[in-house]
Amino acid sequence: MKYKAVIWDLDGTLLDTLEDLMNSVNYGLEGFGMPAITLEMTRRFVGNGVGRLIELAVPKGTDKETEAKVLARFKGHYEEHSLDKTKPYEGVVDVLKALKEKGYKLAIVSNKIENAVGELADKFFTGLIDVAIGETPDVPKKPAPDMIYKALDKLGVEKSEAIFIGDSDVDVATGINSGLDMLTVLWGFRDEDELIEAGAKTFVRRPEELMNYFV
């Protein structure tokens, strides 16, 4: 077995979270009379953490104090509504179960707020995820490699023994920065041309195809 562990991005890779994210962003914006964003805008804005999501969602020229209030309103709403529409991509849970049965260690590394990452992992992937890491103040978020290294440490494996799977330009940069082998999925939040431009090399079009890369 070449790998001992598989590290996953969450949004756009394991879970389709776009609609819940959009609704919570729009709740935050609505409180300050700001125009709503669309699902496609949400798709483009996600990937760099909720702070950046709100920064892109508010109108240009919004002052930082107001932006922080929109963010706080977003967070409060998302804590209550992160499970309204969110669901795993079809076939993903079967892949996780198959890998677990084969003895692989599984981790999630996401720029989503850490308590939300844990809640979503427990809800949709019960008993399958060994380590779930989200955004915290003490660890630089992706594309910095620090979250990946934290996951490797918790899993007890070396870089050469793990592979990273994600869907975005941020994930591609994370894979490059961390030095891990990487697979890039095409059912998520970015299109293939954008991912190629970001440096992605190996693509997977359907979840079941992932098993071709594991013993």
CA contacts within 13 A on the Cβ side of 168? 22
Q: What is the pLDDT of residue 148?
A: 98
Which of 6, 15, 7 is closest to 122 using CA atoms?
Answer: 15
pLDDT digits (tens, 9 = 90+) for 44-76: 999 888 999 999 999 999 999 999 999 999 999
Q: What is the pLDDT of residues 115-139, one digit of tens each?
A: 889 999 999 999 999 999 999 999 9
User: Given this model, what pLDDT does residue 2 score?
Assistant: 87
pTM strictly above 0.75: yes
pLDDT at 92 over 90: yes
pLDDT given for residue 1 in this prediction: 58
Choose which CATH entry (1.10.10.10, 1.10.150.240, 3.40.50.170, 3.30.930.10) describes domain 18-81: 1.10.150.240
CB proximity list for 36: less than 8 A, separation 6 or greater: 26, 29, 30
Mean pLDDT of 191-206: 96
Arithmetic mean of pLDDT, 105-115: 95
pLDDT averaged over every residue in the chain:
96
Q: Which two tokens stand for residue 39?
A: 């699902």
- pLDDT at site 215: 72
**Domain spans, the chain:** 5-16+86-213, 18-81
pLDDT of 79 above 80: yes
- CATH no., domain 5-16+86-213: 3.40.50.1000
Are the C-beta atoms of residues 75 and 113 closer than 8 Å to each other? yes
Cα 3 to Cα 90: distance, rounded to the nearest angstrom = 24
Mean pLDDT, residues 146-171 taken together = 97
